[in-house]
Amino acid sequence: MSFKDIFKSSFLEATTTFSITDTILALMLSFVIGIFIMVIYKKTFKGVMYSNSFCVSLLALTLITTLIILAVTSNVILSLGMVGALSIVRFRTAIKEPLDIAFLFWSISVGIVLGAGLLPLAIIGSIFIGIVLILFVNKDTKDNPYILVVNLDSDDTENVVLGYIKEKCKKYVVKSKTVSNKGIEFSLEIRLNDMSTSFINTISDIDGVKNAILVSYNGDYMG
């Protein structure tokens, strides 16, 4: 066995099929599109608390997915091992905003497409998705729902309050009602006739009303 045969192995031979140029091009383009995804996320964020770590994770996820797909497409044996390794990974982080799921899938999809070498598809698709998100997420609406929480003394006061709400609001739906020896508390989803919320002051001034709270409703209700 010669000195050359000692260092000859499938591991070293696999490096000959590895293209440094393609890898650098894919990772650089992945970085650029990842930055683009971050910018779109910042411009379309509508949640309560902005998380910079999640925004950066979108960039990292794009780069990591690209790297994985590049490795998988270069070696069939490695692809089988990668599937087995990734199958044991479990993610426990809760997604608080539904739109965040779309951004996660966007980052992963871009990484897969770039790793597969479909560069024009990744660029055109990302631009199109970014435009759609900006147009629809940032679209102003005048029909925003609100949750109204009212604490009052008796059924008579409740009827007065509901009558006033029916007059001032376009639509209302009772979400919950709690009756105790301290009084009555009920929550309603309401839609205003206009963007003015001054009617809440009138409700709080009604005899028998202890307090009235109006909060923006994003679709996640906790009763």
- pTM value surpassing 0.75: no
Please tell me whether residues 46 and 109 are part of one structural domain.
yes
Please tell me whether residues 160 and 203 are part of one structural domain.
yes
pLDDT of residue 39: 92
Cα(114)–Cα(108) distance, integer angstroms: 10
Burial of 189 (0-12, 13-18, 19+ CB in 10 A): middle
Please tell me whether residues 203 and 112 are part of one structural domain.
no
**Using alpha carbons only, how large is the chain's radius of gyration in Å?**
28
* Highest-pLDDT range among 122-131, 177-186, 192-201: 122-131
Dihedral in degrees, nearest 10, Cα atoms 70, 71, 73, 76: 180
Residue after which a domain boundary falls, among 99, 118, 137: 137
pLDDT of residue 131: 92
Tokens describing residue 137: 């997420």
pLDDT band at 28 (very low <50, low <70, confident <90, very high): very high
Which helix (H) or strand (E) is 20 found in, with range? helix 20-44
In a domain? residue 1 = no
Cα(47)–Cα(33) distance, integer angstroms: 23
Residue after which a domain boundary falls, among 102, 137, 172: 137
Please tell me whether residues 81 and 183 are part of one structural domain.
no
pLDDT band at 40 (very low <50, low <70, confident <90, very high): very high
Cα(206)–Cα(198) distance, integer angstroms: 14
pLDDT tens for each residue of 54-71: 889 899 989 988 888 887
CA 46 to chain centre: 9
Cα(58)–Cα(9) distance, integer angstroms: 37
Q: Domain span at residue 174?
A: 145-216
Dihedral in degrees, nearest 10, Cα atoms 165, 166, 171, 175: 60
Structural domains in the chain (count): 2
Please tell me whether residues 126 and 182 are part of one structural domain.
no
pLDDT tens for each residue of 71-121: 777 665 555 556 555 555 565 666 777 788 889 899 989 988 988 888 899
pLDDT band at 34 (very low <50, low <70, confident <90, very high): very high
pLDDT of residue 125: 92
pLDDT of residue 7: 45
Please tell me whether residues 89 and 192 are part of one structural domain.
no
Q: Which residue has the higher pLDDT, 34 or 16?
A: 34
Please tell me whether residues 94 and 204 are part of one structural domain.
no
In a domain? residue 15 = yes
In a domain? residue 122 = yes
- Is there a contact between 116 and 68 (Cβ–Cβ < 8 Å)? no
Please tell me whether residues 118 and 206 are part of one structural domain.
no
